[in-house]
Amino acid sequence: MKNNITKQKVVDAASSLFFQKGFHGTSVRDIAERASVNVSLISYYFKGKQGLLEYAVTNYYEAYLEKIEESLEKTEADAAIYRLNELIFTIIHYKQMHHQLTCFIQRELSLDSVFVREMTVTYLAKENYYLKALFQETIGKSVGQEEKHYLFMQLKGMLITPYILHSDWKDQIVGEFAHEQFVKKYTKSIQKWIQFNTDVRIGGEIQ
């Protein structure tokens, strides 16, 4: 248990520093000092900075997909739009509760970091599969495949925008309570967008 706590301290310290200074701008010594551990301990646990990043990103996405699967299983008997709304809340809540690491990962992906992309490609494919299937079920058959694709891209954009443009939100999100409020308000805005794109198509496709 103590080992797990220490490892998590190191991961948290690294996440904060990667977020602030970038991967290449952060040294192992910086991480050790922030986590109040010996430099050799990082080598022992993670085989260096790259191993630490792999561990952090892998754990992040495994827990993330577990939350997604739990949400889908919990709402299995419910209507598609309710399931999608619950899934959106789960996704934003998880990302917000791991804000710094989320921002770092999204920044690296937006820069097309080969190292990070190679680590995340399988996880992102699985996320895309779950989200797309439920979104298409929610939107229904009245929308053509091309428009469905455009709408799905919009949804994906909304799910990552706060973590790519995080500097635009930094003055509004200070402290744990602010993070919780952001999750509720931002999720609600996405849910309204989903409701709009469902309701306006009840009578047919938008002209």
* CA–CA distance, 136 with 205 (Å, rounded to integer): 14
pLDDT, position 89: 96
The residue among 64, 51, 133 whose CA lies nearest residue 94 is 64
**pTM for the model:** 0.87
Residue 79: count of CB within 10 angstroms of its CB: 11
CA 136 centroid distance within chain: 21
The answer to whether residue 18 scores a pLDDT higher than 60 is yes
pLDDT, position 134: 94
Instruction: Give the sign of the dihedral formed by CA 147, CA 149, CA 150, CA 155.
Output: positive
- The 10s digit of each residue's pLDDT in 65-109 is 999 999 999 999 999 999 999 999 999 999 999 999 999 999 888
- The 10s digit of each residue's pLDDT in 99-158 is 999 999 998 888 777 778 888 889 999 999 999 999 999 987 667 788 889 999 999 999
Q: Domains along the chain?
A: 1-47 (1.10.10.60), 57-199 (1.10.357.10)
Give 181-185's long-range contacts (Cβ < 8 A, gap of 24+): 182/96, 183/89, 183/92, 183/93, 183/96
